[in-house]
């Protein structure tokens, strides 16, 4: 009997979601599953989600939105995603906040994404993201520094957290 096949597809802006996707893949592989991991913008056109036993999608939130490519993928593959066991993880700074209202806001963004796309994954979760100050453009760096300062987080933009 062959190992169950899982596909993990992710969208990342600064690399943290990719790291989390690869970590999930390592854990599933240790459990004996056959795992394929790929960024959403490299998914082959002929990929058939029904060829997998389960699908995991992941995306990050930046300024209140998940990546457009991820949203487009979900909409295009909604029927297949709803037909097989699926899960979704969302990565954001809000998810790691010490403020319960901010963590709730991260959950509401996940709920909004699912409502807007019609996808109904069996499992959803949120993870706190990194502060990749050195990879941000100047405007994003400025905004993220302000958000981090408001939350009592790091503000030294010469390094990542």
Q: What is the pLDDT of residues 69-96, one digit of tens each?
A: 999 999 999 999 999 999 999 999 888 7
Same domain, 14 and 80: yes
CATH value at residue 94: 3.40.50.360
Same domain, 155 and 95: no
Q: What is the pLDDT of residues 9-42, one digit of tens each?
A: 999 998 999 999 999 999 999 999 999 999 999 9
Same domain, 124 and 136: no
CA distance 108 to 113: 9
DSSP β-bridge partners for residue 34: 5
From residue 152, how far is each of 69, 83, 148, 149 by CA, in Å?
Answer: 32, 43, 6, 5
DSSP secondary structure letters along 11-39: E-SSSHHHHHHHHHHHHHHHTT-EEEEEE
Same domain, 115 and 147: no
Q: Check if the beta carbon of residue 97 is closer than 8 Å to that of residue 149.
A: no
Q: Which domain holds residue 88?
A: 5-130
Structural domains of the chain, count? 2
Same domain, 139 and 126: no
Q: What pTM did the predictor assign?
A: 0.85
């Amino acid at each position: 009997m062959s190992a169950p096949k899982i596909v993990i597809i992710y969208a990342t802006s600064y690399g943290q979601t990719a790291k989390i996707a690869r970590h999930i893949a390592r854990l599933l592989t240790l459990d004996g599953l056959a795992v394929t991991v790929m960024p959403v913008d490299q998914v082959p056109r002929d990929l058939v989600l029904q060829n997998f036993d389960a699908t995991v999608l992941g995306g990050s939130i930046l300024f209140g939105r998940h990546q457009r490519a991820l949203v487009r993928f979900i909409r295009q593959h909604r029927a297949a995603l709803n037909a097989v066991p699926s899960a979704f993880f969302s990565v954001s700074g809000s998810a790691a906040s010490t403020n319960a209202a901010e963590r709730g806001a991260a959950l509401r963004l996940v709920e909004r994404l699912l409502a807007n796309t019609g996808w109904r994954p069996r499992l959803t979760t949120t993870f706190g993201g990194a502060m990749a100050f050195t990879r941000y453009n100047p405007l994003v760096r400025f905004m993220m520094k302000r958000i981090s300062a408001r939350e009592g987080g790091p503000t030294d933009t010469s390094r990542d957290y």
